[in-house]
Amino acid sequence: MQQHYDYATHQGRRFGRSAGRWATRIPDSVRRLIAGGVAGGVSKTVTAPIETVRLSSMAGRGTITEIAQRIWLKHGLLGFFSGNAADVIRVMPSKAIELAAFDAFKAILMKKNPKTGRQNGNGAFLTGVAGGAAGVTATIAMFPLETVRTRLAMNNGEYGSILHAMSTILREEGFGAFYRGLDASLIGVIPYAALRLGLYDGFKWSYRKVTGEQTVPASHAMVFGALAGLLSATATFPLEVVRRRMMLGTAKGNTFKAVAAIAAAEGWGSLYKGLALTWAKQVPQNAITFVAYDLSKQWLELQA
């Protein structure tokens, strides 16, 4: 048994070294996009069962236990992954752009002054700015596809396919229709991405400073990712509630006026209604996304 284990370990290391040599021939920017795409696909697939049960729970189809039992009895294990392929195709490019852009913005903003050898500005603040900028970049890049996806989800036979929907929207409503509602989305995306990416990077920085180790273990990275997802989702959830109500036309005025109006009419607790379900999605998803991204960067011989 030990011989088989040693052989498998040896072959794994050989494959890793061979893959690393192959990866170094690819430009850094492309490797970061690959790592981000892999991270998005892995996290979406691993958390697909949680998301399937969560969505059914939100639709009022029973308790979590009842829903899980019903899916298992009707469809087996594959039932928990229903629609996952489409989600992975959507998430992979979004995460690829967001995570690669975060690394790129961070490298630019946190570059040291050649004269003083010091960083220009506060590191935590600059990391947050890089996170917000990355969120904006990914949102703008993917928003047309999100618009098409939303239209198809509400389709009454008007669109035959993704390409047909895109061409119809462009012809009848113009290019601007693909970005309708972008401003409302960015209001939530900027603080959420800034906090989520900034917190995760900050946790890793603190770990390195305290322990003196440069490599953060996967178990610790998973905890840091989960905490970053939990804290950022909690802090920005009221903005998400307002955004949804604005899209439905039930909230008026600017974001801050809408928050105040909802709190006055329904109480502050209403701004956090549904937060537990968001935690159920964001905490495991962020934990796995960040670990998968860091491991993918190591495999592709990129600086973590």
pLDDT at residue 6 in the model: 47
pLDDT at residue 93 in the model: 95
Going from N- to C-terminal start, the domains of the chain cover: 28-299
- pLDDT tens for the chain, residues 1 to 304: 445 434 444 444 455 555 556 666 788 889 999 999 999 999 999 998 888 887 777 666 778 888 889 999 998 998 888 878 888 888 999 999 999 999 999 999 888 666 666 666 677 889 999 999 999 999 999 988 888 877 776 666 677 777 888 888 888 888 888 888 787 788 889 999 999 999 999 999 999 999 999 889 999 999 999 999 999 999 988 887 777 676 555 666 677 778 888 888 888 888 888 788 888 888 999 999 999 999 999 888 777 6
Do residues 84 and 48 lie in contact, with contact meaning Cβ atoms separated by under 8 Å?
A: yes
Class of domain 28-299: mainly alpha
Give the whole-angstrom CA distance, residue 170 versus residue 166: 6
Give the whole-angstrom CA distance, residue 221 versus residue 226: 9
CA dihedral defined by 35, 36, 42, 44, rounded to 10 degrees? -170
- Tokens (6 digits) for 195: 């906090």
Give the whole-angstrom CA distance, residue 234 versus residue 196: 11
Give the whole-angstrom CA distance, residue 10 versus residue 12: 5
Burial zone of 235 (CB within 10 Å; 0-12 exposed, 13-18 middle, 19+ buried):
middle
pLDDT at residue 12 in the model: 45
Give the whole-angstrom CA distance, residue 302 versus residue 297: 5
- Distance from first CA to last CA of the chain, Å, rounded? 34
Residue whose tokens read 């180790």: 213
Helix (H, G, I), strand (E, B) or coil at 110: coil
Contacts of 122 (CB under 8 A, 6+ apart): none
Please report, for residues 24, 45, 94, 132, 293, the alpha-carbon distance to residue 39 in angstroms, rounded to integers and kept in the order given.
19, 10, 11, 19, 5
What phi and psi values does residue 74 have, to the nearest 5 degrees? -80, -45
pTM metric for this prediction: 0.78
- Tokens (6 digits) for 285: 């998803």
Helix (H, G, I), strand (E, B) or coil at 145: helix
